[in-house]
Structure 1
Amino acid sequence: MSRIEICALASGSNGNCYYVGNETEALLVDAGLSARQLQLRLAEKQINPSKLKAILITHEHSDHCRGARVLGKRLGLPVYLTKKTFLAMRKAVQPDTPRWFEANQEFQLGEFTVFPFAKQHDAVDACSFRISYAGKHVGVMTDIGEACERVQAEFSRCHAVFLESNYDEGMLMNGPYPYFLKQRVASTQGHLSNEQACMLLKEHAGEQLHTILLSHLSGENNTPEKAAETFDAYRQNYRIELTSRHASTDLIVI
């Protein structure tokens, strides 16, 4: 039986990288840690780098693309991104082997079908991804200011989702960030709160959805306990796991 394995190699404002693989091939979404650190985490999970076919980049912020150039060069991997994202990246991290995609246009990478879709975030051409194989769909949906109709539609198709649960509203508003930064995080171009992520699950989950990995938790404006507690009422129906800023998650079979 065909299967997909997923894990978050890193998830948070200090670095993001998400792994989606099958028996023979795999993709990375984002490479926001150093290439060395990402290679160590692949080794920890006993993931053979030769399975990797490409790195997909969601947007130009450094916690999503910091290691893409070096990792792509070391492993001989193409890096897929939009031209606008490439031009917005710091030149030092622009990949040597860029391949272009456009938002809302599906493309094939080996055995995987990749659908990048536009989202609301304060980047020039930010995209999330739905990655499909053998009739199963995995969403990577972080760095989203609000769950627009496109996000809702793609979420409803997924069997598993890396879902942003970035901040607790009380912690953000009463926390150390300056006012302008609080406004940015909570804006429609910022991030999803725990409650917003939970509402997306409540209102738009498809019948096939069974696994949610709460992702991109803020280190200053959230805690794993608060994020997990927000979703407690849904644990009877879904497998709900936390990702970490400091370590990889277990490999989960879809």
Structure 2
Amino acid sequence: MKYCALASGSNGNCYYIADAEDAILIDVGINAKHVELRMANLGIVPSTIKAIFITHEHTDHIRGLAVFCRRYQIPVYMTAGSYRGSRLQLPENLLHIIRRDEEIEVGSLTICGIPKYHDAQEPCSFWVSNGEINIGVLTDIGRICDNVKHVIRQADVLLLEANYDEGLLDTGSYPFFLKNRIRNGWGHLSNHIALETVLEYRGPRLRHLILGHLSGQNNKVELVRQTFAPHCGKIKLSVATRYQETELFDSQILLPQLTTKIVVRQIAYQASFVFPE
């Protein structure tokens, strides 16, 4: 499998995952022109994208969606609440309304929605697998629920948000209500909580940890690296930023030792996903 972050941060998010000819995007939160430019930098052809999955309706996850999906006639999968909250008018032939815990097959890929806590309407994260490699994309996580724990335990590749440094948030210029919104259990994960979560719940399969969705004002790439690097050992550590795409990672190079196949349907339903109120 190949995967990358085309953009990751509080101003825009877009993630690419592919298995041979089967490719998807999770979120299109930067404008379509920048998606195309960043894809071109990595040799990705936009017309090869077979589906787009949307985590929720906030602007930094849907900014370029309408233009991009129309331009390349790509099916879009999102919950009814996310679509309603987005106020977008997508073509009926491209829009697919899904449940938050639904499994969708796109060629060799199985994509499973992961219900989560976030201040949006019917938000979900996504788990993507080809039966051998499991990739979890967990951003906009208000708190650590059983769903998040389950994905971390089973992931070979984990993209996890490390949104803010607690000290920078406390001393920063954000008004109190916004600071409270970020850390009230419905907003985002701090560096410290993200690290504690990885250390407690990572499984033996984890080989690549990508930290993303960094705040522009309340976090720094150097802080994230300093926080996580001493604890990664043989796990590859990457930080995705808002400024440019990551490299296009290849699981055959990063994860050569993984041979055990996983049946995603069994993993998903054994998790007994909790639906946040």
Instruction: Output the TM-score relative to the length of structure 1.
Output: 0.96
Alignment of 1:73-112 (within 5 A): 73-91=70-88, 94-96=89-91, 97-112=94-109
Say which of 142, 148, 153 aligns to 1:151.
148
Is contact 1:68–1:95 with CA below 8 Å preserved after alignment? Answer: no
Structure 1 stretches lacking a partner, 5+ long: none
Q: How many angstroms apart in 1 are the aligned matches of 2:144 and 2:248?
A: 27
Residue 242 of structure 2 is matched in structure 1 by 245
Distance 1:232 1:249 in 2: 18
Following superposition of structure 1 onto structure 2, how do residues 1-254 of structure 1 map, counting pairs within 5 Å? 4-91=1-88, 94-96=89-91, 97-254=94-251
What is the one-letter code of the residue matched to 2:114? F
SS at match of 2:126: strand
Distance apart, 1:176 and its partner CA: 0.6
The CA RMSD over aligned residues, in Å, is 1.0
Amino acid across the alignment from 2:90: P
Gaps of 5+ in 2: 252-277
TM-score (norm 2): 0.88
Q: CA deviation at 1:21?
A: 0.7
Q: Deviations over 1:150-204 (max 9, x none)?
A: 1101111110011100000010011110011101111110100001111111011
Cα distance in 2, alignment partners of residues 100 and 135 from structure 1: 27
Percent identity between the two aligned chains: 40
Aligned equivalents of 1:189, 1:49: Cα separation in 2: 33
Asked if structure 1 preserves the Cα contact closer than 8 Å seen for 2:155 and 2:203, the reply is yes
Q: Deviations over 1:7-36 (max 9, x none)?
A: 000001111000001221110000001111
Listed one character per residue, the Cα deviations across residues 203-241 of structure 1 (whole Å, up to 9, x for unaligned) are 111111010111000010000011111102223231010
Q: CA deviation at 1:253?
A: 1.2
